[in-house]
Structure 1
Amino acid sequence: MFSVASIQDDIYIVGGCSSLTHFGRVDRSSFKTHKGVLVFSPLTKSWRKVASMRYARSMPILGISEVSSDFSIVQSHQHRQERHFPRSRIGGVSDVYEDPHRLSLRRQYRNAFDENDTSLLHGRKSHRFTRQKNDQPNAKGCKRFVLVAVGGLGSWDEPLDSGEIYDPISNKWTEIQKLPIDFGVVCSGVVCNGIFYVYSETDKLMGYDIERGFWIGIQTFPFPPRVHEYYPKLVSCNGRLFMLSVSWCEGDGQIGQRNKAVRKLWELDLMYLTWTEVSVHPDAPMDWNAAFVADKSLIFGVEMFKIFGQVLDFLTVCDVSDAGTNWSHISRNQMTHELDASSCITKSLAVLHL
């Protein structure tokens, strides 16, 4: 029940839980949720430990974001945690949770705005990024990334609404502003254009502005329909935000034809905050916990499920830069001979360039 993310050449394994087992049974008396973070380097085939999170989490939602070399995480003197859900973009802006439409415009047309303009800020942030006067890249020209962990389950299996951010340069975790109380349990998240978008089981969407350190309330229209048992998955490709959602589809318009469930790919217009259907996944959604990850213009998906006593797996890919935006199968049943049925639930997926 750990979570996985990739930063350049390394794979980060974050949190999770463990227990002593006796003949395959979980011993709840020794059940433990972990704060630890491990890093695996495929190039050297070696493991190393980095700083542990502040809170133990299983299944945290992770996001990776590139930041400027001179960004630093600082604590604000005012540590108030506003816990109400923001008003709509039509009704106004709350004290802490900024207007999503204006923020999306600022993200898309960053160069058109004055970076020193503070008119969008209201000052009540728990943590934020600050830019130093020297805005030049570091001498080596190396890219710098941060890792954000939000939600997950705590030591008593309680849903967490807290989050924290990890800076590999300082090897430290810093707590960030909590989600609103009524946001619900976080089930998916991804970074797009410097904002960490998270989706809840109650069908709410918010974004964490990593540079400025506050949450954005996002109200979209129309909302993609979904089957309740399948939680949507967010992915990002080249500055575009997508969602994979399972919904019911009428059966070919024939009388008496039963409806069927299909998995669809939706894209969110970051300026007008509207969802558009992009593509339909070719496989029936047999796996309620399918894993999806994006890299550049490609979205990879892994489905694993047990049927008739056999574990099956499918690896698919979709090129969103293609006008057709169709899914294709990469392989079938290439992993299940080494895995057991529990992998259907606990699988994770990462993409690296080596």
Structure 2
Amino acid sequence: MSSRIKALFYYITARLMLAPIMLWAIASVVFLLMRATPGDPIDAILGPRAPEEVKVALREQVGLTGSLLSQYLGYMQNLMRFNLGKSISTKEQTVWQIIKNFFPATAELAIYALIVALIVGLTIGIIAALRPNSKWDVGGRLFGIVTYSLPLFWVGMILQLVFSVQLGWLPIGTRFPASAEPPTTVFGLYTIDSLMKGDWNNLWTSFQYLILPATSLGIVISGIFERIVRVNLRQTLLSDYVEAAKARGIKPSSILFNHALKNAMIPVITILGLTLASMLGGAVLTEVTFSWPGLANRLFEAIVGRDYPVVQGIVVFFAIIVTIASILVDIINAWIDPRIRY
């Protein structure tokens, strides 16, 4: 085993050992924040006039009895057993069942939003890098600044107003028409499930409902990719090995795709892990704006309804996804770029 592979192995091992500590810190912060907010979640669900014995029974059922320390210890014990608890508002529904039911919608939205972000961001970034100090470069820089600063909910409402209300081209929200039968779920992703079954009508309908929310989330995130590609591709095009390739008479298109763009894409892969975290956070605003029945929208409802177990469980689940994505990005980077040392 080479020294580089050994170093990478030790780095990944250290990251895996630190991951539980990070998850513990996130779970602890969420636990304390939920209990620091004013109001009683039992009163919010049952109402202040509910019989006291009913309140006590529900409080015991969801682990809200005893001191704050005992609640915390009980929560951590359940978390170590991968038990995220049960929802207060839906009584018998576990948090894992909620994640299973709602996460596919969020995953599908995130996938298509990422596709939009990559297509738009990479295209504008490449054009701006190939034409430095031109109107294309200025426009690309302006695009990156503006899109990154745009409020997600505002972008979503503008798209709804133009393409749904004014033009009537696309549905204004939700994931599938209430009057139609949704696709039979295999993976929970309507477009993939419809494609696998050859149901072209449901596939087109699913795409129609995806276009606006995926575009609004993707456009805002695309500015991140545009700026990274523009800066790194420009630096790569000015490097010595690119100048040497030009001197040897290699075609400009071959230099761009086989040399410059390949190296300029390494930071893009790095930023994908961070972008995933941004998309999970931004999906809350997008899903609420478009009434998208995803896990982020369910998280918002749980926060409003003071459903402690659901909020804690979904946040920990999102943190696990981000942690895994971050480690995978490090491994992919080390595989692509042999210059990286750990």
Using the size of structure 1 for normalisation, the TM-score is 0.26
Whichever structure has more helix as a proportion of its residues is 2
- Greater strand content: 1
